[in-house]
């Protein structure tokens, strides 16, 4: 194998991440990554190699590349050479190649590359080629940001006396009366995939008082929309000894402010690249009663805006309420509290005596990202609520008996990590923020 530089050293250097190369200027180094770009001239070929930390321009003789390496975009490579300063290059250094080892070949005809413009690539093609998506500077940043979102969620709660819990996703019954469940065979019995860790986190409040969990949940809902998944990653919180849902909303407000402040600081360039700008302070987000929301919608958009909204809000109403909050409070978010009690899960506490619920949704940038509220905390109340829904309390005995052990007034909320990521980055489809989406039509990859 020919090289641009004489081999004066035989010891193989350890692999160094590209972002950590600067202190090794003038030395012989080894990098590993993918061929991100290729630019061939008559005598010299410039090879841009990308690893998880950055990119580096490598210089190799064109003849040597043609005869020995035949590099293609997205080839997985190991490169050894001398690191030299070069002010003309973006990061101020380039590698004069001594040797290249092909670790894995990429096929010649790729649907797109990590360095190409992919605005017109369909969502289906992106999902089917996830490794290339993750190497792409912009698309890969979606999932790095998502990882940081979950990390900050965990970080804030841990600092505030919450204990992380880990609960089963195989359950004997549903948390919402048995609807929208994925059934599975469990030896000689029937079991289900958990819709939520709701029962478990309530039970854990009876001992740990403040708990949270991050994990997948499953909803057998026949949707195939830009906002729904059948499997998503839920960020769940539950706390005890509360007086009402206002305490829960305040906790979430502080949590999101903490997360948003860090993201604004650490991900300013990313937010700008996605065209969304700094994340807002949630201190300005108003709290509106459900009935008040309907009145505001009617006043601003006419009677047709509230047709069919007697029990819940639809997507258009959520979008319009955020627009109204932005106009009035300069914050594209609103807490909606006091939904009709009969439209909420059986364990929801009543808000007054007029049929409203102590439950809320948080709408952010036009989409509901949170559902939460205060729960019933006495067994007799839960049994009455179950019978009122036509459900037999005996089917929930393993849960109900926990309320004989001294359960404090409690409540909590859940945030879908994919929805939150999509709203933070201004993504049009939740699948853009889901590594391997599951909906009614997709089970692969």
Are 342 and 416 in the same domain? yes
pLDDT in tens, 202-227: 999 999 999 999 999 999 988 778 88
Q: What is the pLDDT of residue 178?
A: 57
Tokens of 376: 């019933």
DSSP-assigned letter for residue 222: -
**Residue 301: inside a domain, yes or no?**
yes
Interacting residues of 98 by C-beta distance below 8 A, sequence separation 6+: 3, 4, 5, 7, 28, 80, 81, 82
**pLDDT for the residue 275:** 94
Question: DSSP per residue over 286-312, as a string?
Answer: -EEEHHHHHHHHHHHH-GGGGTT-SSS
Q: What is the CATH number of the domain that holds 314?
A: 3.30.930.10
Rounded to an integer, what distance in angstroms lies between the CA atom of residue 128 and that of residue 125? 5
Residues 185 and 266 in one domain: yes
Residue 313 pLDDT: 96
Percentage of the chain beyond pLDDT 90 is 91
Let me know if residue 11 belongs to a domain.
Answer: no
Same-domain status, 194 and 56? no
The overall average pLDDT reported for the chain is: 94
The answer as to whether 234 is a domain residue is: yes
Q: Radius of gyration over alpha carbons of the chain, in Å?
A: 27
Identify whether 440 is part of a domain: no
Q: Is the pLDDT of residue 342 over 50?
A: yes
Domain that holds residue 355: 130-433
Give the lowest-confidence range in 168-177, 305-314, 400-409.
Answer: 168-177
The C-alpha atoms of residue 296 and residue 288 are separated, in whole angstroms, by: 10
In this structure, the answer to whether residues 183 and 259 fall within a common structural domain is yes
Residues 271 and 399 in one domain: yes
Residue 382 lies in a domain: yes
DSSP-derived letter for residue 144 is: H
Which residue in 376, 378, 308, 306 sits closest to 346, CA to CA? 376
My answer on whether 183 and 311 are in the same domain is: yes
Q: What is the reported pLDDT for 180?
A: 85
Predicted pLDDT at 174: 76
Check if the beta carbon of residue 166 is closer than 8 Å to that of residue 213: yes
* pLDDT confidence of residue 177: 58
- Strand, coil or helix: what is 434? coil
Which is higher by pLDDT, 246 or 179? 246
| Residues 145, 87 within the same domain | no
Task: Give CA–CA dist 259/286, Å, rounded.
Answer: 19
- Co-location of 88 and 138 in the same domain: no
pLDDT at 46: 97
Q: Are residues 154 and 91 in the same domain?
A: no
d(CA 409, CA 227): 33
* Same domain for 158 and 67: no
DSSP-H helix ranges across 21-97: 62-64
Residue 212 within any structural domain of the chain = yes
Same domain for 348 and 397: yes
CATH code, 74: 2.40.50.140
Q: Strand 367-374 to strand 93-104: parallel, antiparallel, or no bridges (unpaired)? A: unpaired
Does 441 fall in a domain? Answer: no
Residue 418 domain flag: yes
Cis peptide before 13 (omega within 30 of 0): no
- Give me the mean pLDDT over the 232-241 stretch: 98
> How many domains does the chain contain in total?
2
What's the average model confidence in pLDDT over 402-426?
A: 97
Q: What are the DSSP calls for 346-390, one per residue?
A: TTBPEETTTTEESEEEEEETTEEEEEEEEB--SHHHHHHHHHHTT
* Average pLDDT value for residue range 349-360: 96
> Of 58, 86, 104, which residue sits at a domain end?
104
Which pLDDT value is given to residue 2? 47
- 301 plus 341 within the same structural domain: yes
């Amino acid at each position: 194998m020919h090289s641009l530089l004489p081999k004066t050293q035989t010891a193989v250097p350890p692999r160094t991440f590209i972002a950590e190369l600067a202190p090794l200027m003038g030395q012989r180094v080894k990098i590993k990554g993918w061929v991100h770009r290729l630019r061939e001239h008559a005598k010299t070929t410039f090879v841009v190699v990308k690893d998880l930390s950055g990119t580096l321009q490598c210089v190799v003789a064109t003849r040597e590349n043609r005869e020995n390496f035949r590099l293609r975009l997205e080839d997985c490579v190991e490169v050894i050479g001398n690191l030299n300063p070069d002010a003309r290059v973006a990061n101020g250094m380039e590698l004069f190649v001594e040797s290249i080892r092909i670790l894995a070949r990429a096929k010649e005809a790729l649907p797109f590359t990590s360095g190409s413009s992919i605005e017109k690539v369909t969502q289906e093609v992106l999902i089917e080629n996830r490794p290339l998506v993750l190497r792409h500077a912009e698309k890969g940043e979606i999932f790095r940001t998502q990882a940081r979102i979950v990390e900050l969620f965990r970080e804030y709660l841990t600092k505030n006396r919450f204990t992380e819990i880990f609960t089963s996703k195989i359950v004997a019954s549903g948390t919402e009366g048995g609807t929208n469940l994925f059934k599975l065979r469990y030896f000689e019995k029937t079991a289900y995939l958990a819709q939520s860790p709701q029962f478990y986190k309530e039970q854990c409040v009876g001992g740990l008082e403040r708990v949270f969990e991050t994990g997948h949940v499953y909803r057998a809902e026949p949707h195939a929309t830009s906002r729904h998944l059948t499997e998503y990653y839920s960020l769940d919180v539950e706390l005890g000894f509360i007086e009402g849902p206002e305490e829960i909303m305040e906790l979430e407000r502080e949590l999101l402010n903490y997360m948003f402040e860090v993201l604004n600081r650490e991900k300013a360039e990313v937010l700008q690249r996605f065209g969304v700008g700094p994340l807002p302070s949630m201190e300005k987000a108003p709290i509106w009663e459900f009935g008040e929301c309907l009145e505001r919608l009617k006043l601003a958009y006419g009677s047709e805006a509230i047709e069919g909204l007697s029990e819940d809000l639809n997507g258009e109403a959520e979008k319009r309420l955020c627009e109204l909050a932005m106009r009035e409070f300069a914050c594209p978010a609103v807490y909606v509290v006091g939904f009709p009690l009969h439209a909420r899960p059986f364990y929801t506490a009543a808000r007054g005596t007029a049929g409203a619920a102590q439950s809320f949704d948080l709408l952010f940038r036009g989409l509901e990202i949170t559902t939460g509220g205060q729960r019933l905390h006495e067994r007799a109340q839960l049994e009455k609520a179950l019978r009122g829904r036509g459900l037999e309390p005996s089917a929930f005995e393993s849960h109900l008996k926990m309320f004989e052990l001294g359960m404090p007034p409690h409540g909590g909320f859940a945030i879908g990590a994919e929805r939150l990521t999509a709203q933070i980055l201004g993504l049009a489809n939740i699948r853009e923020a889901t590594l391997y989406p599951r909906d009614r039509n997709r089970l692969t990859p």
